[in-house]
Amino acid sequence: MPYEIKDPAGERSAKSAMLRGLRGRCPRCGEGRIFGRYLKVNEECSACGEALYHHRADDAPPYVVITVVGHIVVGLALAMERSLQPDLWIHMMIWAPLTLLLSLLMLQPVKGALIGMQWAFKMHGFDPESPEAQEPPPSLAAS
């Protein structure tokens, strides 16, 4: 591929790859978009051509989101209960929508960061010499 990696010495920096993924950008170049739709990962980067179909995010992003959102919502709900002691219906009107909103807002960035981490550590086929390397999907093999 003619595109050069922007990291110094051509190394894969986990920090920069995860930050790029957090922003929804290609972990290699930081310019192409990882996602074609909300959680659908593009098969390759449109800017540098890096194959992204290797990712194996699976259930990790929801677990991370559940943990983070749970700590935020439970902590705030307990603080509100101790200080204001509102009725139960008020808790439901505040915390149920907030939980849903935070979860939906966090899921894509967390998945992108996880894909960036996998790329940086050459996990799950991101290393072409790995035994986990897969054949390209039919849509890429045809081009």
Determine the pLDDT at residue 117: 95
The predicted-structure confidence for 69-82, as pLDDT tens digits, reads as follows 999 999 999 999 99
Question: What is the reported pLDDT for 129?
Answer: 75
3-class SS string, the chain: CCCCCCCHHHCCCHHHHHHHHHCCECCCCCCCECECCCCCECCECCCCCCECCCCCCCCHHHHHHHHHHHHHHHHHHHHHHHHHCCCHHHHHHHHHHHHHHHHHHHHHHHHHHHHHHHHHCCCCCCCCCCCCCCCCCHHHHCC
**pLDDT confidence band for 9 (50 / 70 / 90):** very low
Smallest Cα–Cα separation from 50: which of 5, 18, 82?
Answer: 5
Q: How confident is the model at residue 2 (pLDDT cuts 50, 70, 90)?
A: very low
| Angle subtended at Cα 114 by Cα 57 and Cα 25, rounded to the nearest 5 degrees | 110
User: Residue 24: exposed, middle, or buried by beta-carbon count in 10 A (0-12, 13-18, 19+)?
Assistant: middle
Which pLDDT band, with edges at 50, 70 and 90, does 3 fall under? Answer: very low
Residues above pLDDT 90, as percent of the chain: 70
Range scoring the smallest mean pLDDT among 4-8, 38-42, 97-101: 4-8
pTM given for the model: 0.84
